[in-house]
Structure 1
Amino acid sequence: MKKMTISTISKGFFHILNKPSSTLLTTWYAEQVVQGKIIASKNVILACKRHLNDLKRAGTDEFPYVFDEELGHRPIRFIEKFCRPSKGNYKQLILQPWQHFILGNLFGWVHKDEKLRRFREGLIFVGRKNGKTTIISGVSLYGVSKDGENGADIPLLANSMKQARLLFDEAKAMVKSSPKLRKHIRTLRDAIHYDKTFSKIEPQASDSEKLDGLNTHIGVFDEIHEYKDYKLINVIKNSRGSRSQPLIIYITTAGYQLDGPLVDYYEQGVDTLNGVITDDRTFYYLAELDDPKEFDQPEMWIKANPNLGVSIKLEDMIEDWEKAKRIPAERNDFITKRFNIFVKSDEQSFLDYEVIKRNKKEINFDELRGRPCIAGFDLSQTEDFTSACLEFWLDTGEIAVLSHSWIPEKKVLSDNEKIPYREWEKHGYLTICKEGDYVDYRLVYNWFVDQSKRFNIEIVTFDPANAYRLVEDLKAYGFNTLSVRQGYITLSPALKDAKELFLDGKVIFNNNKLFRWYINNVKLVEDRNGNWLPTKQSRYRKIDGFAAFLNAHTEVMKKLATPKGNGDIKFVSVSDLFK
């Protein structure tokens, strides 16, 4: 590995030396990152672009939020003036530009009329040793005393009380080390009180006995990569109902719990920053290495460690990596905690998001009235998405996909995943079923019957799981049906053919955002013979609509391969050529 020095990576963590004289660095940081003057991960670059784009549309009818620099700077000014870390020889805490960007966003974006905070939640995803505890402590002390709220509860939350108390003890130590804070804030063993507004900070965990009585104003979750379920998160979300501008902050590194809330929230963040879904009320800062090639490129490590050179010494980190990478268990832990990358499986992405966007052509499906098509459906096994589609093959070599999905309202009401069900319903991509815990298969049946009056449905393809009653009813109506085996031999050719069509920009789905989301969620599992199967990476990543399309495409790809004309072959003799 090439030895790195401070000068060779000054483009990264020493950007602070060239900061402007203005008090708030939020927008400056975003500009520097987008211009490539500060090294950052792809997702941080997208977060910065989001901030700059939002500034352009601020205060409009479609986007009623404005950026108030004074409000954004208040918590920063408070922390730098009154707070100091309890560990280390620090006389004053100076927040770095990336921390200005985070706090400026969380507290500076407000509604143009009420001046209430835009963001209700924020996910701060950074590597270990980047000063997370310091930010948590400072924000909690600001929230309890200077955020203008009476009776505000500030719970410091973790998966265990031991971890929660580490956060709490740091906040308490900050109070004790500040003469001005000590005058106004009262510290006890289990609570920090600001008596002027009857507000308090308390450590809380999943096993706490006092969770039900909370009235959360600002809740801070530490290391949610350890969480296996939403139990504690749900309690806190349900405790903020009486608050006018509650804020929940999740601040964490990557972890090994790939079926928990963190992966769900992380993937929602990636989708939001990429424009796959719309979520104007959640802030995302996702700092991570973008490529395994960067493991041995210390100049890139600032992507996951924005505090490199401040709370992290580059030389120490290089030495630690050189030792850790020789031992598999230590290597994986270093990659997860210091490079901030989730433990990866052997799955590969089906398509890049940029490839999906190539397929932006639209068509009026009424113009296809009477045309032949292949149908497909995928029924849910639980109270989740059920999907159906029609796939048309066109003379241009393109395919057109008409997709629709159903979901029970119970799932929508109880959902933690920020999936924009209502938006998709508004655009006609989704039906939210008002009755029952499951999707009634007769709704799918009725959809096929209605579509058969517009189009010539040659075959209805399906995954045989849970499909018996619907298939029998479709047969009784007169549909031809075909079971599609869900294995490598059947699905791999269809997957590879569909990928080629997407790469060539030949898939028309009229920018159906739900269908685009399904496609974006597809991962591939490959067997030793190079055959593919589709899968999803987590609970959040639904692929039901793609599964319905893939069932149909097992037959449509045969149509695309059929030669034009009547199939007759005429042999011509040499003598015929001279007649």
Structure 2
Amino acid sequence: MITYSYVEEYVRQWRNGDITLNKRRIKLIELIERDILTSEDMYFDEEQIESYIQFTEKYYFPLTLTQKFKTCFIFLYYNDGSLVFDEHLDYEGRGGGKTGRISTLANYFISELHGINNYNVSVVANSEKQAKMSFTEVFNTIDKDDRLKSHFHHKKALIESRITKSEFQYHTSNANTKDGLRDGCVIFEEIHQYENSSTVDVFTSGLGKVRNPRIFYVGSDGYVREGFLDKLLERADNLLDGSVSIRDDGLFPFMCCLDEEEEMHNQAMWQKANSQFHPPLTSYAKTLLRTVMKQYNKLEHNPDGYEEFVTKRMNLPKVDLEKSVTSWTKIKATNQSYDLDVLKKRECIGCLDYASVRDFVSAGLLFLKNDNYFIPKELTHSFICKPFADKHYAYSKDKAENNNKKDHRKFAPIREWENDGLLTVKDIETMDPYLIVEWFVIKRKEGWNIKKIVGDNFKMDVLKPIFIENGFEVEVIRNPDAASGLLAPRIEIAFENEQVIFGDNPLMRWYTNNVLVKRLPNGNKVYRKKEEVKRKTDGFMMFLYGVWASRDLEDYDVSDTLDLLDALHF
């Protein structure tokens, strides 16, 4: 039988209801009580545990009970001196103190207190900024303390113990350019962004050349599914469920997360996702709690932040990371009335999507008025190549009375929309760029004040000279995905607040309903198609580009300004 005071106290607080744990941590306690505390061939190294705690609290910050609890299992050994846990998963909501903790571990491991020569430590992250975070914290701590300076050389990219010659350095996770290092410990940050194990494999290939090698996996959840993190979590769950023994898999799985999404609305449950919120709260935790509470309160008016809050703060990944741009209810709410005579007094953006020359092209005029985006039914138009319409929407068959209406027509009633003047089917194989430019020329002749034309860079090398030749200013969006990432919050809020106005335009509703919102590994949102061929999104992308350029629109009636000028006598 073995035990340790911090382990006993942690379990006692949970059993007494002083702290609230999620199901995974409860399973961890059960595993510890079943397989560790009853063991006769394991021991906690008291000297190392207390030495690390004293070192950290003297030079860095006070440790919480949770952090002391986890420390015990870093220095848990078999009687033969080998580690019980040579891998540690620290999976916790954003703000849980994970990065600060690995800073102290890295500094301790290379020191003579740890007592292993050449025990090199590497921290690996996707970005240099993240990778340098712990290194910079250790560097600055040494730099301001003369006693630490006497124990460590600290340089811009390398910190070395004067006694053990152990080194601490940081790396970015480009697995293609790094060879295995001679490390004693490797710490992986931002593991939620790893799509596979290639980075981990490269940086851990040099382990085993010094005794007691360790790997730490650190991070909150993210937006890469079926990647490295998901597989690691599955491995951890297998340990907690008892289907794998810790003697066969030396991973210490410390996992903080909500058990159910609804728990996010109960502040008392937030400690399930973040151990900093276990009472009594430190000054750091009180500040963090205020920050998280503000973010939670903003969700009512900023629904775009919902997934980020649940995924990163509550550490509970949203399953529907790919979803519609908005609900069908909000799409239908775009059917609002407007006054074309009022809009005609205002300037507008000419926007177009020319994603393919063989199927759809969409064009429109977008207006901004009182934070509402107007793209009126009468001022949008799509052009379709007839071969594409025939192949995918049975366009020519619509002429027959016995057309199978439950198939292609119901999916996209092209002929019906053409009869309503929403689109034109052209009997051509590829789209004529002059056709698109002419549509805008006609609108300008009708008196619409088009400030500029905006579209993405596809085919703009052909279109731009024609537009300029016809006297239009042109803006080209070089990276539509980057624009989507920047605009996604504004687009989502606009739909939520019913500030997008198409009028009674079933074609624009169809375009919008076909949009798939996808999260990239960096958290940015991009717009894709729910189905690659038939479910077109050209009209929505045209609208998106118009919103991008709407920053240049003045929110007032141009004609009122002209009338005022006419009334002045010079």
How far residue 207 of structure 1 moved from its aligned partner, in angstroms, is: 2.7
Picking from 44, 49, 63, the partner of 1:95 is 63
CA distance, structure 2, for counterparts of residue 56 and residue 131 of structure 1:
27
Query: Residues 127-276 of structure 1: matches in 2 within 5 Å?
Result: 127-145=93-111, 146-207=113-174, 211-212=178-179, 214-276=181-243
Q: Contact 2:89/2:254 (CA < 8 Å) preserved in 1?
A: yes
CA distance, structure 2, for counterparts of residue 343 and residue 177 of structure 1:
43
Query: Residues 377-416 of structure 1: matches in 2 within 5 Å?
Result: none
Match of 2:308 in 1: 333
How far residue 209 of structure 1 moved from its aligned partner, in angstroms, is: 8.6
1:476-501 C-alpha deviation (Å, 9 max, x unpaired): xxxxxxxxxxxxxxxxxxxxxxxxxx
Q: Contact 1:168/1:203 (CA < 8 Å) preserved in 2?
A: yes
Q: Contact 1:34/1:49 (CA < 8 Å) preserved in 2?
A: no
How far residue 95 of structure 1 moved from its aligned partner, in angstroms, is: 0.2
Residue type at the aligned position of 1:322: N
Residue type at the aligned position of 2:285: I
CA distance, structure 2, for counterparts of residue 325 and residue 115 of structure 1:
54
Q: Contact 1:126/1:340 (CA < 8 Å) preserved in 2?
A: yes
How far residue 279 of structure 1 moved from its aligned partner, in angstroms, is: 3.2
TM-score w.r.t. the length of structure 2 is 0.52
Residue type at the aligned position of 1:27: E
1:278-318 C-alpha deviation (Å, 9 max, x unpaired): 23411011001111221110011111111123333334322
How far residue 125 of structure 1 moved from its aligned partner, in angstroms, is: 0.6
Residue type at the aligned position of 1:216: D
How far residue 192 of structure 1 moved from its aligned partner, in angstroms, is: 0.4
Q: Contact 1:161/1:207 (CA < 8 Å) preserved in 2?
A: no
Residue type at the aligned position of 1:26: V
Query: Residues 407-446 of structure 1: matches in 2 within 5 Å?
Result: none
Matched, 1:115 2:76: no
Query: Unpaired segments of 5 or more residues in structure 2?
Result: 323-570
Q: Contact 2:87/2:216 (CA < 8 Å) preserved in 1?
A: yes
How far residue 105 of structure 1 moved from its aligned partner, in angstroms, is: 1.1
Q: Contact 2:119/2:166 (CA < 8 Å) preserved in 1?
A: yes
1:313-369 C-alpha deviation (Å, 9 max, x unpaired): 33432222010254332011011111011121499xxxxxxxxxxxxxxxxxxxxxx
Matched, 1:291 2:264: no
Matched, 1:79 2:56: yes
CA distance, structure 1, for counterparts of residue 268 and residue 136 of structure 2:
35
How far residue 233 of structure 1 moved from its aligned partner, in angstroms, is: 0.4
Structure 1 SS opposite 2:252: strand
Residue type at the aligned position of 1:171: V
How far residue 238 of structure 1 moved from its aligned partner, in angstroms, is: 1.4
Query: Residues 468-487 of structure 1: matches in 2 within 5 Å?
Result: none
Q: Contact 1:152/1:217 (CA < 8 Å) preserved in 2?
A: yes
Structure 1 SS opposite 2:77: strand
Moved over 6 A (4+): none
Residue type at the aligned position of 1:78: F
Residue type at the aligned position of 1:98: T
Q: Contact 2:261/2:316 (CA < 8 Å) preserved in 1?
A: no
Residue type at the aligned position of 1:302: Q
Q: Contact 1:156/1:220 (CA < 8 Å) preserved in 2?
A: yes
CA distance, structure 2, for counterparts of residue 99 and residue 259 of structure 1:
29
Residue type at the aligned position of 2:306: R
Match of 1:320 in 2: 295
1:410-442 C-alpha deviation (Å, 9 max, x unpaired): xxxxxxxxxxxxxxxxxxxxxxxxxxxxxxxxx
Residue type at the aligned position of 1:312: A
Picking from 47, 53, 56, the partner of 1:70 is 47
- Quick one: structure 1 residues 225 and 184, their matched pair in 2 at CA, closer, same or farther if it must change by over 3 Å? same
CA distance, structure 2, for counterparts of residue 209 and residue 193 of structure 1:
26
Picking from 246, 252, 275, the partner of 1:306 is 275
1:16-61 C-alpha deviation (Å, 9 max, x unpaired): xxxxxx99523321332244332111111111222222344212xx
How far residue 257 of structure 1 moved from its aligned partner, in angstroms, is: 0.7
Query: Unpaired segments of 5 or more residues in structure 1?
Result: 1-21, 85-92, 348-579
CA distance, structure 1, for counterparts of residue 290 and residue 173 of structure 2:
38
Structure 2 SS opposite 1:254: coil
Structure 2 SS opposite 1:283: strand
Structure 1 SS opposite 2:122: strand
CA distance, structure 2, for counterparts of residue 268 and residue 209 of structure 1:
26
TM-score w.r.t. the length of structure 1 is 0.51
Q: Contact 2:184/2:208 (CA < 8 Å) preserved in 1?
A: no
Q: Contact 1:67/1:110 (CA < 8 Å) preserved in 2?
A: yes
Residue type at the aligned position of 2:267: P
1:145-173 C-alpha deviation (Å, 9 max, x unpaired): 12221112100111222321122111211
How far residue 178 of structure 1 moved from its aligned partner, in angstroms, is: 2.8
Structure 2 SS opposite 1:216: coil
Query: Residues 446-457 of structure 1: matches in 2 within 5 Å?
Result: none
Structure 2 SS opposite 1:39: coil
What is the aligned-residue RMSD (CA, Å)? 2.3
Residue type at the aligned position of 1:50: L
Match of 2:491 in 1: none
